[in-house]
Amino acid sequence: MSPLGGALQVLGNAARLGSSPPVAGGKQWWSWISLDDVVDVIYHSIINEKISGPVNVASPNPVRQKEWASTLS
């Protein structure tokens, strides 16, 4: 996520307008990761010859979407 675009920008704008309700009840897990972390993983994957194939990038501490929406607003 980045405040310069993507989901955080859209959801942040909604929260600033007072509209940050949970999506579909808010029970689903929300695993977010910063753009800097994604770039670090891509770079590490490129320079490390032992890594091949798909690489999963996710937060080690996901939260429920309802909690995330509440924190954002």
Q: What is the per-residue pLDDT across 14-47, written as a single tens digit (0 to 9) for each? A: 666 666 666 777 888 878 788 899 999 999 999 9
Residue 26 neighbours by CB under 8 Å, 6+ apart: 64, 65, 66, 67, 69
Query: Does residue 21 fall inside a structural domain?
Result: yes
CA 57 – CA 32 distance, rounded (Å): 9
The answer to the question of residue 1 being in a domain is no
Number of domain units in the chain? 1
The pTM of this model reads: 0.56
Q: Specify if 23 maps to a domain.
A: yes
Mean pLDDT of 40-67: 91
Question: Is residue 61 in some structural domain?
Answer: yes
Please say whether the beta carbons of 32 and 1 come within 8 A: yes
Tell me which residue range forms the domain holding 35: 6-72
Residues 1 and 64: their CA atoms lie apart, in Å, by 16
